[in-house]
Amino acid sequence: MCQLEAVKSRKVIITGSLGLIGFEATQFFLDKGDTVIGIDNDLRGKIFKIKTQYGRKLKKLKEKFPKTYLHYDCDITEKQKINEIFKKNGKELFSVIHTAAQTSHDWAQKDPPLDFSINAFATLELLEAFKKYAADATFIFTSTNKVYGDSVNYLPLKEYKKRYDIPVQNKYYQGIPESYSIDQSMHSLFGVSKISADLLVQEYGRYFNLKTGVFRLGVVSGGGQSASLYQGFLSYLIEQHFKSDGILVVGYKGKQVRDIIHARDVIAAFYEYARKPKSGEVFNMGGGRGNSVSILEILDKLETLAGKKAKINYIDVARKGDHIWWISDTDKFKKSYPSWRINYTIDDIISDIYKSYDLSGKV
């Protein structure tokens, strides 16, 4: 984790400032004495029809940082409003951290035009405003491992008792690198809209020589995420385990593998990049082999932690384009920024989520 150091107060624009990653970023920069311009309209709650922590988080920030947290309750697709925000603050900006998105693999198929509008067109308008008003700052984009599509499912995966995995001798055993092809595979419509934005951020960096960075994220989690079956599966598993309502597991017998990273470790990586940016760079970012875990392995951990076994309901048909196995290779980022490291283990992350549910009184 990056240590806090004394720096001159700066401005940071964070889209999705009250979401999981955005809120961690917001708190990180506010704690450093910076001014955060937050853009968030609780789209996730509206789309998924779930109760989020939007109001509680906003109240907390306004009470603790009344002068340095400036909130805009607007949609990132509102071009005129976005331009006004950048025009007003652009010259003093240190960084733009773009985390706002339609984040669900499943939901995207219900309304592909809206998904594309939010994830791709809005990112284009943000880049235009960034280029026009804040070209000296950095632009950090939260992309996704879904850009690689489902071709990883055709690696030599072997089925074990609790998980799928690839042989130790396979060159991808430690994870998928940035050089892995994104072509000739099924990505999901969500993956396609994020690929479009991903490439735009790269191109604005390389073509216009702007300091733009793309982080292709796997599963990001931590306390404070509002659980949904559609997105945020670890929080969903923990909440359902708490409630004893039964847990729905979709596809692959619960043996699908993900590498999980805490949002705070992601923000630490963002800050390293923001201090020493590269134009149009791409990094895979996740928990790596050490934080890789299957759903069945997570449920075993929850059973030990809670002292009770969960009821599991299996759906045999997997989601289209879903990964059977995913581990991110983060070596490229580690070599570029050697002081960065993973601080939160999978057990730390599960414990953090458990505590956040208990303390918030949500369940």
CA 43 to chain centre: 15
| 184-228 confidence digits (pLDDT tens) | 999 999 999 999 999 999 999 999 999 999 999 999 999 877 666
pLDDT bin (cut points 50, 70, 90) of residue 91 is: very high
Query: Which pLDDT belongs to residue 363?
Result: 38
| 33-62 confidence digits (pLDDT tens) | 999 999 999 877 677 777 778 889 999 999
| 257-269 confidence digits (pLDDT tens) | 999 999 999 999 9
Give domain 11-360's CATH number out of 3.40.718.10, 1.10.1580.10, 3.50.50.60, 3.40.50.720.
3.40.50.720
Where are the chain's structural domains?
Answer: 11-360
Work out the mean pLDDT of the chain and round it to a whole number.
91
| 113-148 confidence digits (pLDDT tens) | 999 999 999 999 999 999 999 999 999 999 999 999
Contacts of 111 by beta carbon, 8 Å cutoff, 6+ apart:
none
